[in-house]
Amino acid sequence: MTIFNIVTVPLLIPFLQILFGSHPKVLTKPQFSYDVDSMVQTGYYYISQTIEQNGQKTALAYICIGFILLFFLKNLFSYLSLFFMAPVRTGIVRDIRMKLFNKMIYLPLSYFSEEKKGDLMARMSSDVQEIESSILNFLEVMVREPLMIIGCLCLMVVINPHLTLFVIGLLLVTGLFIGRIGKSLRQSSGKAQGHLGNLIAMLEESLSGLRIIKGFNADKYQAQRFEKENNSYRDTFIKIMWKKDLASPLSEFLGIVVVSILLWYASGLIFNNQMSAEGLFAFLLAFFYAQSPAKSFSKAFATIQKGMASVDRVEKILNTPNNIREKKNAIKQHTFSNSILYQDVHFSYIKNKPVLTNINIEIQKGKTIALVGGSGAGKSTLVDLLPRFYDINEGSIFIDGINIKNFSLEALRSMMGIVTQQSILFNDTIFNNITFGLQDIPKESVIEAAKIANAHEFIMDAEKGYETIIGDGGGKLSGGQRQRLTIARAVLRNPPILILDEATSALDSESEKLVQDALQKVMQNRTAIVIAHRLSTIQDADEIIVMREGKIIERGSHQKLLDVNGAYHKLVEFQTF
């Protein structure tokens, strides 16, 4: 493409020159040799021959055909270059996006309590796009323009090496100028992408909290917050545009400054007869030829700094270490057969702020234990440690006498089914929400699981039965229905260990009854850890553990704890009242 770009027009000029008589015809064939002059002369000879033999009109027709052919080739190659670049550009972006997604899914939960969801979304979308447009553009320029610049430089060296050296020195100084702009552009650009991340975070939060925003008449407040962030984004972006747009005019101006200094310097050489005037003229011409690629170079250099800011943000995610690691020879498969043991477990989210201290619990297979205690006592944290959502700081947890760190995460987590207070559902069919992540499940098994979870009836009442799409986060279902779907999901997996974290506390009494029934069925013959808000639901548990501020303060059966007349007794009394 570059070659055709350069040669198309110059190649036609000699034809026209001879045709219209501005260059004398060459009628004798020149001696052929490998220098420019003899090649040009040979060209002139053949053109003259054609005109002599076939007349001007036919020659012109040839020229027209040649013209069409050359431009066809030029555009064909320019299309081909884009054609082959398209898979490269989109492929790089696709790979980055895939890598980011995999990394985000792989990172532990603790990472996401530190980061804004919207900012991560911005990195995934607009930062990746920025990399596409600026960096890949730069690569294109890097391939295309150096040919031109190198050609011009060679020409300049041939004319006057001394002067070329002088010019290069001047160019380095101007390069420094442009480099400084690029550097500050990179900083602003990182800042702007951060603002964009905040914007998307706010948008995401607002959309999911619309009900509350409207209910609390907080529309204006939220809009103001958005406006403020929107304005900061704009302000930073103005600066970016100013800096970016400066690159091209600045490089042209500096180019002229270089030429002026050059003229002044070279005129000295001419007066001293160290250089001819024609030589200077040719030199300047070469210098001017190099200008346009140099300009697109400095422009690309400015934009790449914008792209680099995005690369930094993307890399920051990719380089985040995951502190929840699997051992090299981790156990890939295990059937739970004996017991779960928490031994001297200590844990804190933030250093020196213990959330759990000295926890010792043993759960035999088939037993149910219940955790009770005020909110913030550390109950959810305690069960989150079992599937290794977080790693404990001190002590160990064993399953069948094997430290849970020795299992692969998949083996460990496939032993348990988790039902939490917030029913996490996805905008998909009921069927896919129940089978979630499992493949080739027969419909009968799904229906059976739904029946156990007391969900089958309402599913059949829905518009399209199991194929009904339930909306964002299951928004088209009631709280109780959502909860029963999550239970069906846990039932279908048939895990030996069940973890129920306040699975019924978000429900009204009627749906709670249905869900409680469902849970009772599910817990039969299973090992279960139940966190319950309503104490009536856990009276039959084999052991009840009462927690306060991360410590176990009482433990035993319902009757035994009532007899002790302590914290549990008070809780029960309070609830019956």
Ligand X SMILES: Nc1ncnc2c1ncn2[C@@H]1O[C@H](COP(=O)(O)OP(=O)(O)O)[C@@H](O)[C@H]1O
Question: By CB under 6 A, what part of segment 107-126 binds ligand X?
Answer: 113
The contact mask relative to ligand X for 230-269 (x = CB under 6 A, - = no) is ----------------------------------------
Q: Which of 20, 46, 216, 349 binds ligand X (CB under 6 A)?
A: 349
Q: Does 378 bind ligand X (CB under 6 A)?
A: yes
Q: How far apart are CA 32 and CA 44, in angstroms?
A: 13
CB under 8 A, 24+ apart: contacts of 476-482: 477/425, 478/511, 479/423, 479/506, 479/507, 479/508, 479/511, 480/507, 480/508, 480/510, 480/511, 480/512, 480/514, 480/515, 481/455, 481/511, 482/423, 482/425
Q: Cβ distance 549 to 381 under 8 Å?
A: no
Q: Which of 134, 189, 236, 380 binds ligand X (CB under 6 A)?
A: 380
How many other C-beta atoms can be found within 10 angstroms of the C-beta atom of residue 335?
A: 8
In this chain, which stretch among 246-254, 268-276, 347-355, 397-405 interacts with ligand X, using CB under 6 A?
Answer: 347-355
Q: How far apart are CA 350 and CA 347, in angstroms?
A: 9
**Toward ligand X, which CB reaches closer, 153 or 571?**
571
Question: By CB under 6 A, what part of segment 452-491 binds ligand X?
Answer: none
Q: Which of 290, 363, 377, 447 binds ligand X (CB under 6 A)?
A: 377
Whole-number Cα distances in Å, 192 to 97, 99, 100, 121, 124: 20, 23, 20, 15, 15
**Toward Mg ion, which CB reaches closer, 328 or 353?**
353
Residue 572 beta carbon to ligand X: minimum distance, rounded to whole angstroms? 18
**Toward Mg ion, which CB reaches closer, 135 or 531?**
531
Amino acid symbol at 439:
Q
Q: How far apart are CA 481 and CA 315, in angstroms?
A: 41
Residue 521 beta carbon to ligand X: minimum distance, rounded to whole angstroms? 25
**Toward ligand X, which CB reaches closer, 255 or 378?**
378
In this chain, which stretch among 111-119, 298-306, 374-382, 543-551 interacts with Mg ion, using CB under 5 A?
Answer: 374-382
Q: Which one of Mg ion, ligand X, none interacts with residue 355, CB within 5 to 8 A by kind?
A: ligand X
Q: Which one of ligand X, Mg ion, none interacts with residue 105, CB within 5 to 8 A by kind?
A: none
Q: How far apart are CA 211 and CA 205, in angstroms?
A: 11
Residue 208 beta carbon to ligand X: minimum distance, rounded to whole angstroms? 19
Q: Which of 303, 380, 423, 527 binds Mg ion (CB under 5 A)?
A: 380
Residue 537 beta carbon to ligand X: minimum distance, rounded to whole angstroms? 16
Q: Which of 123, 191, 243, 379 binds ligand X (CB under 6 A)?
A: 379
Beta bridge partners, 548, equal 551
Residue 369 beta carbon to Mg ion: minimum distance, rounded to whole angstroms? 16
Q: Does 504 bind Mg ion (CB under 5 A)?
A: no
Q: Cβ distance 202 to 225 under 8 Å?
A: yes
Q: Cβ distance 518 to 498 under 8 Å?
A: no
Q: What are the DSSP E strand ranges found in 420-564?
A: 497-501, 527-531, 543-548, 551-556
Beta bridge partners, 575, equal none
Q: Which residue is nearest to Mg ion (CB)?
A: 380
Q: Which one of Mg ion, ligand X, none interacts with residue 377, CB within 5 to 8 A by kind?
A: ligand X
**Toward Mg ion, which CB reaches closer, 198 or 380?**
380
Main-chain dihedrals φ then ψ at residue 372, nearest 5 degrees: -130, 165
Q: Which residue, among 550, 531, 552, has the nearest Cα to 356 in the 3D structure?
A: 550
Residue 396 beta carbon to Mg ion: minimum distance, rounded to whole angstroms? 23
Q: Which one of ligand X, Mg ion, none interacts with residue 79, CB within 5 to 8 A by kind?
A: none
Q: Which residues contact 19 (CB under 8 A, 6 or more apart)?
A: 47, 51, 56, 59, 60, 63
Q: Which residues contact 222 (CB under 8 A, 6 or more apart)?
A: 202, 206, 213
How many other C-beta atoms can be found within 10 angstroms of the C-beta atom of residue 349?
A: 11
DSSP-H helix ranges across 319-429: 379-384, 409-414
Residue 128 beta carbon to ligand X: minimum distance, rounded to whole angstroms? 28
* Alpha carbon of residue 8 to chain centroid: 43
DSSP letter string, 177-233: HHHHHHHHHHHHHHHHHHHHHHHHHHHHHHHHTHHHHHHTT-HHHHHHHHHHHHHHH
Q: How far apart are CA 564 and CA 552, in angstroms?
A: 15
**Toward ligand X, which CB reaches closer, 28 or 375?**
375
Q: How far apart are CA 289 and CA 231, in angstroms?
A: 43
DSSP letter string, 31-44: PP-SSHHHHHHHHH
Q: Which one of ligand X, Mg ion, none interacts with residue 113, CB within 5 to 8 A by kind?
A: ligand X
Site size toward Mg ion, by CB under 5 A: 1
Q: Which of 96, 128, 355, 452 binds ligand X (CB under 6 A)?
A: 355
Q: Which residues contact 104 (CB under 8 A, 6 or more apart)?
A: 120, 124, 317
How is residue 351 written in tokens? 């250093």
**Toward ligand X, which CB reaches closer, 124 or 355?**
355
**Toward ligand X, which CB reaches closer, 355 or 487?**
355
Q: Does 376 bind ligand X (CB under 6 A)?
A: yes
Q: Which of 381, 433, 504, 516 binds ligand X (CB under 6 A)?
A: 381
Q: Which of 28, 335, 337, 375 binds ligand X (CB under 6 A)?
A: 375
The contact mask relative to ligand X for 385-424 (x = CB under 6 A, - = no) is ----------------------------------------
In this chain, which stretch among 195-203, 287-295, 357-365, 379-387 interacts with ligand X, using CB under 6 A?
Answer: 379-387
Residue 553 beta carbon to ligand X: minimum distance, rounded to whole angstroms? 13
Site size toward ligand X, by CB under 6 A: 11
In this chain, which stretch among 337-345, 376-384, 391-399, 435-443 interacts with Mg ion, using CB under 5 A?
Answer: 376-384
Q: What is the largest CA-CA distance in the chain?
A: 125
In this chain, which stretch among 271-279, 380-388, 489-497, 558-566 interacts with Mg ion, using CB under 5 A?
Answer: 380-388
**Toward Mg ion, which CB reaches closer, 372 or 404?**
372
**Toward ligand X, which CB reaches closer, 273 or 375?**
375
Contacts with ligand X by CB under 6 A lie at 113, 349-350, 355, 375-381
Contacts with Mg ion by CB under 5 A lie at 380
